[in-house]
Amino acid sequence: MTTAIDQNEPRPSKATGIVLTVAALIVAVMLTVNPAPNNDLFWQLRAGADILRTHQAPHADTFSWTRTGTQWVAHEWLSFAIFALAYKAAGFSGLYVLMAVCIGATFTGLFRIAASNARVAADRGEVASTVAFLVWLAGVMISRPYFQPRPQLFTYLFLVVTMSTVLSARRMSTPRLWMLIPLFVLWANLHAGVLIGVGVLAVFAIGEGVDAYVERSRRDVAGEMAFARHLGMVAAGGLLSTLATPYSYHIYQNFAATVSNATAMNTVGEWASPDFHSPFGHVIEVYLGLAMASLFFSQRKRRTADVALVLILLYETLGANRNAPLLAIVCTPLIAEHAMSAFGRVKWASMIGPGVAYVLAVATVNGALMSAVSTMRESAVKDGAPLERVALTSIDYAGYPAKACEFVEREQVPAGIRMYNIYGQGGFLIWKLPDHPVFIDGRADIYFGKHLDDVSRMRSMPYDWRSTLNKWHVDMIVSEASDPQAKLFLGAPDWALVYADSPILSDTFRPEGPVNSLIFIRNIPEYTKLIGKCRSDCPAVAKIAGRYRPSSGSGP
């Protein structure tokens, strides 16, 4: 076990530490002003409201008409309740404040851990803090796309607590790891990411044990072996604590079913590999290069656990975008130590003083503030209180079919009508149209099997798309102009367009801005009166009708 930091070791001035910590906090919070679609938030709000009303976690689906009664393992049930409470207290502003507090605490804490770990290898404290801040900055940038109000927020926060506890215990002779067990019990009810925490502890236990065994002939390693065993026992206790939920072992079945379902992996965007032609991909490349260079040039001992965690999480991130924040949180403190050691080999490294840290802090804070201001200027949300505007911009509220839902309610579309909706809108429809069950939503595990396969097939725009809708006896379609499927429905004489947000349908991609929602109803005598009424109440439809003439040759 590494000994505590020498009391004579140079440490950063309090002013430098305070400046960089405040900078980290401001940067992290400003980066939450980040428009990113989060369709799942809305069905989570609906589920949370139901939990608060019934005082019990859900066990079966009640939101869709296609899978009603199907077993639902809502392992994030406590997060849903917390989100519902925040929304009840202050609407979307309350949700944004909750997110900003979690992100601020998580990434400010992450910087403090990275700086503390870097000081182990530092000649001067200011240098260590500055290097740690640079590594932290790369980590926060690869995490930014996932700064959203979602249950993963609690995994990020508790993972920082786990890393802080383990790294602190590794440097001290009296580890206090048992405090993690009650944390894991709470974590297991907030998000299944608790399994990541258990995995991290297990890797540390194995790695520390391997290092102690390899060095057994050179020195007394009884303390190291005892620490490894302690880690292993806490990991085992953490694993058992994951069963203290309303779903018991079923969370493992749910996790295994999700990661093994190829259709789900190809349907949900965040399970895709990073696009290295995108800005996000370039930031991951920077982080990857920084990690590899730090480990290669470091003069510090490369612990088995540290190397294993970096390699495992790099591999997982290259396989799925959503793992990038996990990589940043677990590996940034480990990389910071080796980055400091590698940087310390540079002759002029010792010349860096507090002034460099202050300039870096001002530059990054200014950049984050400019980014937030620019985002708000370009926001599609122009009305409302400042905090509410920030909240609605951050969740990209303009990208959901709010007006279309209001139209459905205003026109009194029958609640029993069988609706087909595109994947990305299901969660919002669950929340905004509680009396109209959806075809599908972001709870992919509910729809595993032929149902999810049919949704994936529709996205590929097959020639016989009608057979899929006919099989499910669909009578209404809710889509959007930017979705490729809309071309099929617009050209179909057996489907009547009854609503559009806008008559402009030329856009094939909606980067950020208002959605153009479309509603179609099956063109049969049963709905003739409803179609006529809806069309007369939507002026945009008349303008569109002149440009899109249905063709009987659009499919069998």
Domain identity same for 287 and 334: yes
Residues 6 or more apart whose CB falls under 8 angstroms from that of 250 comprise 71, 73
Which residue, of 374, 389, 421, is where some domain finishes?
374
DSSP element (H, E) containing 362: helix 354-377
Domain identity same for 369 and 489: no
Within 10 A of 352 (CB to CB), how many other CB atoms are there?
Answer: 19
Domain identity same for 415 and 348: no
Q: What is the mean pLDDT of residues 420-428?
A: 93
Domain identity same for 169 and 85: yes
Domain identity same for 41 and 158: yes
Which residue, of 329, 359, 374, is where some domain finishes?
374
Claim: this prediction has a pTM higher than 0.85:
yes
Domain identity same for 56 and 151: yes
396 within some domain: no
Residue with tokens 């950049």: 367
Q: Which is higher by pLDDT, 508 or 105? A: 105
Domain identity same for 115 and 230: yes
Predicted pLDDT at 226: 87
Question: Whole-angstrom Cα distance, residue 266 to residue 255?
Answer: 16
Termini Cα distance of the chain: 71
14 within some domain: no
Whole-number CA gyration radius for the chain: 26
Predicted pLDDT at 345: 63
Domain identity same for 463 and 339: no
pLDDT in tens, 495-523: 999 999 988 876 544 545 688 999 999 99
Is the model's pLDDT at 552 over the cut of 50? Answer: no
Domain identity same for 368 and 409: no
Residues 6 or more apart whose CB falls under 8 angstroms from that of 83 comprise 41, 44, 45, 48, 95, 98, 149
Per-residue pLDDT band at 217 (split at 50, 70, 90): low
474 within some domain: yes
Lowest mean pLDDT among 27-41, 43-57, 109-123, 308-322: 109-123
Phi-psi category of residue 507: left, alpha or beta, with phi > 0 → left and psi -120 to 50 → alpha: beta
Q: What is the mean pLDDT of residues 81-87?
A: 98
Which residue, of 374, 393, 423, is where some domain finishes?
374
551 within some domain: no
Domain identity same for 461 and 331: no
DSSP element (H, E) containing 521: strand 517-522
Given a contact cutoff of 8 angstroms between Cβ atoms, the answer to whether 52 and 84 are in contact is yes
7 within some domain: no
4 within some domain: no
Q: What are the beta bridge partners of residue 517?
A: 480
- Residue 512 burial (10 A CB sphere; 0-12, 13-18, 19+): middle
Predicted pLDDT at 173: 60
Question: Whole-angstrom Cα distance, residue 331 to residue 339?
Answer: 12
DSSP 4: P
Domain identity same for 335 and 414: no
pLDDT in tens, 164-180: 999 999 887 666 799 89
Given a contact cutoff of 8 angstroms between Cβ atoms, the answer to whether 467 and 283 are in contact is no
pLDDT in tens, 426-479: 999 999 999 999 999 999 889 988 888 898 889 888 889 999 999 999 999 999
The residue type found at 292 is M
Is the model's pLDDT at 11 over the cut of 50? Answer: no
Domain identity same for 406 and 360: no
Is the model's pLDDT at 196 over the cut of 60? Answer: yes
166 within some domain: yes
Given a contact cutoff of 8 angstroms between Cβ atoms, the answer to whether 438 and 46 are in contact is no
Question: Whole-angstrom Cα distance, residue 521 to residue 299?
Answer: 68
Is the model's pLDDT at 96 over the cut of 60? Answer: yes
Given a contact cutoff of 8 angstroms between Cβ atoms, the answer to whether 49 and 230 are in contact is no
Question: Whole-angstrom Cα distance, residue 277 to residue 499?
Answer: 37
3 state SS of 421? strand
Number of separate domains in the chain? 2
Residue 416 to residues 64, 388, 512, 523, Cα–Cα distance (Å): 11, 34, 33, 17
Predicted pLDDT at 7: 43
Which H, E and C letters describe 292-315, residue by residue? Answer: HHHHHHCCCCCCHHHHHHHHHHHH
Given a contact cutoff of 8 angstroms between Cβ atoms, the answer to whether 180 and 165 are in contact is yes
* Sequence-ordered alpha helix ranges (H) in 378-502: 386-394, 402-410, 426-432, 450-459, 465-471, 485-490
Residue 421, φ and ψ in degrees, nearest 5: -130, 155
Percent of the chain with pLDDT over 90: 61
Residue with tokens 């029993």: 416
Total H helices, total E strands in the chain = 22, 4
- Residue 405 burial (10 A CB sphere; 0-12, 13-18, 19+): buried
Q: pLDDT averaged over the chain?
A: 88
490 within some domain: yes
Contacts by 15-22, CB closer than 8 A, 24 or more apart? 15/354, 16/125, 16/126, 16/129, 16/354, 16/357, 16/358, 17/115, 17/129, 19/357, 19/358, 19/361, 20/111, 20/115, 20/129, 20/130, 20/133, 20/357, 20/360, 20/361, 21/108, 21/111, 21/112, 22/361
Q: What is the mean pLDDT of residues 305-319?
A: 94
Residue 279's domain comprises: 23-66+74-374
